[in-house]
Structure 1
Amino acid sequence: MSEVPSFDEFKRYVILLNLNPGRRLDEDLIRGHVAHLRELDRNGQLVIGGPFIDYKGGMVIVKAGSLEEAREIAERDPFVKSGAENYEVRTWAISCEENQHLGAG
């Protein structure tokens, strides 16, 4: 099998949000978070996001130019700025027919 090519256009960043112990999300904080998501959507950066049903936290997938930019997006989120949630960012490669499943298909 040949080496998997780099497909930057198929790179996304996954922001994993986790509720900090002893914290809760009140209505104002949730509204601020939604405003943040709407801004990302207007800027063409929001791919998809939402809360987990079986875990205290959620996930936001964004388009960004770099891992650092994705971290900056996460740190602007009111959930994170308030200290209610912490975050982790993962770089995600999308496998699909368009990129022949990252060159392996």
Structure 2
Amino acid sequence: MYETREEDIRYVILLTVNAGKQMSEALIRAHVEHLKQLDDQGKLELCGPFADYRGGMVILKGVTYDEAKAIAEADPYVSSGTESYELRTWELSTASNGHMGMG
């Protein structure tokens, strides 16, 4: 039976702009600074806005669920009430883990 390895877990923060909320340049810059800090700490895997939806996604690595939740809630977009978030645990299927023991 396959056992999930810590290195095969990512946390996905799905951000959605709340109805009636607008972005300011200062808020966007604060959000980008938050992301840069995560990148400097080696916690940021990928991030970016959606082209077809008002929101974006942040993928974290090397953190726990509780750390990922704290990171999401510390994001200026979320803490300002401009965006809400969903946090998902993503198990990677890769060659290095035998595609979760099935490959």
Mark yes or no: TM-score above 0.5.
Answer: yes
Which of 19, 22, 32 is residue 21 of structure 1 equivalent to? 19
Deviating above 3 A after TM superposition, structure 1's stretches of 4 or more consecutive aligned residues are none
Whether the 8 Å contact between 2:4 and 2:91 is mirrored in structure 1 is no
Q: Which protein has the bigger helix share?
A: 2
What is the aligned-residue identity percentage? 51
CA RMSD of aligned residues (A): 0.9
Unpaired runs of 5+ in structure 1? none
Question: Contact 2:16–2:55 (CA<8 Å) still a contact in 1?
Answer: yes
Tell me the residue number matched to 1:86: 84
Contact 1:10 1:93 survives alignment (8 Å): yes
Give the alignment's TM-score, normalised by structure 2: 0.96
| Structure 2: runs of 5+ lacking an equivalent | none
1:48 positional shift: 0.3
* TM-score, normalising length: structure 1: 0.94
- Counterparts of 1:6 and 1:97 in 2: how far apart (Å)? 14
How many Å separate the matches in 1 of 2:83 and 2:63? 24
